[in-house]
Amino acid sequence: MTGTRTLSKYWMLTNDFTQNPYPVLEYVRRESPVRELSLPDGSRAFVVTRYDDAKAALADPRLSRDIHVHYRLMSQRTGRTMTPPPEEANHLANLEPPRHTPLRRAISFAFTPRRAEALRPRVETIADDLLDKLAGRPRADLIGGYADPLPVITIAELMGVPADAWPDFLRWSAALRTYSPTDGSGALDRNIQELSRYMSELIARKEREPGEDLLSALVHADEERRLTPTEILSTGFALMTGGNDTTASLVGGVLAALLTHPAERARLLGEPGRWGASMDELIRYVSPIGNALQRVTTEPVELGGVTIPAGEVVVICVMSTNRDTAQFPHHPDRLDLDRPKPAHLSFGFGIHYCSGAHLAKVITEIAARRLFERFPDVRLAVDPAELRYQQNVVVRPLVELPVAW
Ligand code: HEM
pLDDT tens, position by position, 317-344? 999 999 999 999 999 999 999 999 999 9
Lowest mean pLDDT among 80-94, 167-181, 342-356: 167-181
Taking the centre of ligand 1 as the mean of its atom positions, its distance from the CA of residue 347, in whole angstroms, is 6
Taking the centre of ligand 1 as the mean of its atom positions, its distance from the CA of residue 316, in whole angstroms, is 15
User: Which of the four pLDDT bands, split at 50, 70 and 90, describes residue 1?
Assistant: very low
Residue 298: count other Cβ atoms within 10 Å of its Cβ.
16
As a whole number of angstroms, the distance between CA 26 and CA 283 comes to: 19
Asked if the model's pLDDT at residue 64 lies above 60, the reply is yes
Nearest CA to ligand 1 atom 12: 348
As a whole number of angstroms, the distance between CA 211 and CA 280 comes to: 34
pLDDT digits (tens, 9 = 90+) for 206-224: 999 999 999 999 999 999 8
Mutate which of 152, 159, 246 for ligand 1 pocket (most atoms within 8 A of beta carbon): 246
pLDDT higher at 171 or 183: 171
Nearest CA to ligand 1 atom 38: 352
Going by C-beta distance under 8 Å and a sequence separation of 6 or more, which residues neighbour residue 293?
65, 93, 352, 394
As a whole number of angstroms, the distance between CA 288 and CA 346 comes to: 7
Paired with 303 in beta bridges are: 306
Going by C-beta distance under 8 Å and a sequence separation of 6 or more, which residues neighbour residue 375?
131, 135, 405
Taking the centre of ligand 1 as the mean of its atom positions, its distance from the CA of residue 356, in whole angstroms, is 6
Residue ranges of alpha helices (H) inside 82-228 are 86-89, 100-108, 113-118, 120-135, 149-159, 166-177, 186-208, 214-219
Backbone angles phi, psi at 295, to 5 degrees: -110, 160
Mean pLDDT calculated for residue range 179-189: 65
Q: Is 63 helix (H, G, I), strand (E, B) or coil?
A: strand
pLDDT digits (tens, 9 = 90+) for 66-118: 999 999 999 999 999 999 999 999 999 999 999 999 999 999 999 999 999 99
User: Which of the four pLDDT bands, split at 50, 70 and 90, describes residue 185?
Assistant: low
Extents of the domains making up the chain: 11-404
Mutate which of 285, 355, 364, 365 for ligand 1 pocket (most atoms within 8 A of beta carbon): 355
Got the DSSP string for 181-194?
TT---HHHHHHHHH
For the domain covering 11-404, report its CATH number. Answer: 1.10.630.10
What is the pLDDT, as a whole number, of residue 296? 98
Nearest CA to ligand 1 atom 17: 354
Asked if the model's pLDDT at residue 346 lies above 90, the reply is yes
Nearest CA to ligand 1 atom 24: 243
Ligand 1 pocket, Cβ-based, cut-off 6 angstroms = 58, 92-93, 104, 155, 238-239, 242-243, 246-247, 250, 288-289, 292-293, 346-348, 352, 354-356, 359-360
Taking the centre of ligand 1 as the mean of its atom positions, its distance from the CA of residue 226, in whole angstroms, is 22
Of 367, 83, 129, 127, which Cα lies nearest the Cα of 253? 367
Asked if the model's pLDDT at residue 156 lies above 90, the reply is yes
DSSP state of 139: E
As a whole number of angstroms, the distance between CA 51 and CA 324 comes to: 6
* Amino acid letter, residue 22: Y
DSSP state of 389: B
Residue 229: count other Cβ atoms within 10 Å of its Cβ.
16
pLDDT digits (tens, 9 = 90+) for 259-301: 999 999 999 999 989 999 999 999 999 999 999 999 999 999 9
